[in-house]
A and B are shown apart, each in its own frame.
Chain A
């Protein structure tokens, strides 16, 4: 089955700096790559997704890049704010399933 690896597991940045989280996947048939944000005590929430026919997608301060040849994709958050502090998960589809990475705990310090 699909194996999704995510790095780093923890990330601490100062407010205003950029944060980058990277993921790799194993299933060459995967064509959908979402990112989820999970705040404490809540369920994950979709923040951005990208399909395999697109190399980059941006939504305000967040962007995702995809390199299908290398089987890796990344989340970029610019001008980080304290409210960006959360756990972020990448995922890749495999058949009818969505497989998640183990998460990155992002801390944005004022």
Chain B
């Protein structure tokens, strides 16, 4: 019973590089979301999905793309990394189709962009 699994745990990128942060859940949750956590800023919503094939933007979507081809997976893509994207990224899922209720969080990916 893995819950929400994020990979990798740590990543260092150079400015302009691209990468995909992986997120998978095995709880058959419809709702999935990505947050970034910066010191003193709390958790800010990047993108979310209420089901396979459906995604929408959160508070800070610029520079990030998402897709939801399956219920289990919700990858986050950085097309051209910038130092401002240095952060800890959390994926979360919920059984609730109305969004955000009883979120289960992964353990995070710490990303540094040089």
Q: Hey, which bits of chain A sit against chain B, CB under 8 A?
A: 1, 6, 9, 32, 34, 36, 41-46, 49, 89, 91, 93, 95-103
Contacts and interface: CB of A to CB of B under 8 A. Distances in A.
Contacts of A6: 42
A93 B43 contact: no
B50 A96 contact: yes
Contacts of B59: 1, 97, 99
Contacts of B31: 96
B98 A96 contact: yes
A43 B105 contact: yes
Interface of B: 4, 31, 33, 35, 40-45, 48, 50, 56, 58-59, 90, 92, 98-108
A46 B43 CA distance: 14
B99 A97 contact: yes
Contacts, number: 68
Nearest to A4: B42
Majority secondary structure of chain A interface residues (helix, strand, loop or mixed): strand
26 contacts: A1-B59, A9-B40, A32-B100, A32-B101, A34-B102, A36-B103, A36-B105, A43-B92, A43-B108, A44-B43, A44-B103, A44-B105, A89-B42, A89-B43, A95-B99, A96-B31, A96-B56, A96-B99, A97-B33, A97-B45, A98-B33, A98-B103, A99-B59, A100-B35, A100-B43, A101-B42
Contacts of A89: 42-43
A103 B42 contact: yes
A91 B4 CA distance: 20
Contacts of B58: 97
B48 A96 contact: yes
Contacts of A42: 107-108
A96 B100 contact: yes
Contacts of B104: 46
Max chain A Cβ within 10 angstroms of own Cβ: one of B43, B45, B58, B90: B43
